[in-house]
Amino acid sequence: MDKPVMIFGAGPLGQAALEIFTRNGVVTYGLLDDDEERHGQEIGEVSVLGSTSDDGFLKFIGQKAEAFIAEEEREVRKHLVEMLHERRKVQPVNAVHPTAEVATTASLGHGNFVNARATVGAGTTIGSHCLLHSASVVDHGATLGDFVAVGAGSIVSSGASLADEVFVGAGAVIVSGVKVGKGARIGAGSVVVAEVKAGDTVFGNPAQPVKS
């Protein structure tokens, strides 16, 4: 990456992203966060400069700096993606930890977070704005849509398909070939052996729908 990066979000995910860019030798211009109490603080040697909507800092995005969105909350992440599209006509860059294993035949979109020791297998398709937390596995031939979050230590097995906005809790297993519908939520530690419908929440081993 030739340009420095501006990180949107100074919480734990922002700190993890900063670590990734630092270890990859990418200069971080600064962090932006909407929590005013964080303004002026330093994370390592990088300052929290101001809010995510401050034109004084946004003007650098696209010309002098790249952007990365480091927000866990999906709706906040979506809002910031849309804002960057509308105001700066740019896509966020990917943040891939140097210890992650990403196959040369894997396809990644924009703005993805791939943390330490995560594995992305051969022929895998990852959409945009996904979060792959530490030691998660997306095995060969699996497909993830946009805004998917895969918790630490989770396994999305070969040929599995996760639609947009799916959440997979830490330590869960999606077995080979299973389809998970848009916006579904998989509880931590669950083992998913059958299709999960859009919007459903499942939990357990084997995972079963959680009744509201």
Strand ranges of the sheet holding 28-32, from the earlier edge strand across to the other edge: 42-43, 46-50, 28-32, 5-8, 66-69
Domains of the chain: 5-93 (3.40.50.720), 96-204 (2.160.10.10)
The pair phi, psi for residue 79, each rounded to 5°, is -60, -45
pLDDT at 38 over 70: yes
Angstrom distance (rounded) from CA 88 to CA 93: 14
Catalytic residue, from 39, 97, 133, 140: name it: 133
Q: What is the mean pLDDT of residues 26-42?
A: 96
Is 133 assigned a catalytic role?
yes
Query: How does pLDDT run across 92-114, given as a tens digit for each residue?
Result: 999 999 999 999 999 999 999 99
61 vs 1, residue with greater confidence: 61
117 vs 115: CA distance, rounded Å: 7
Q: What is the mean pLDDT of the chain?
A: 96
CA distance 168 to 155: 9
> Distance between CA 129 and CA 77 in Å, rounded?
8
pLDDT band at 147 (very low <50, low <70, confident <90, very high): very high
Above 70 in pLDDT, residue 161?
A: yes
User: Between vectors from CA 13 to CA 122 and to CA 146, what angle results, nearest 5°?
Assistant: 45
∠ CA 180-182-187, nearest 5°, is 55
DSSP string covering 151-204: -TT-EE-TT-EE-TT-EE-TT-EE-TT-EE-TT-EE-TT-EE-S-B-TT-EEEE
Asked if residue 212 has pLDDT above 80, the reply is no
Q: What is the pTM of this model?
A: 0.96
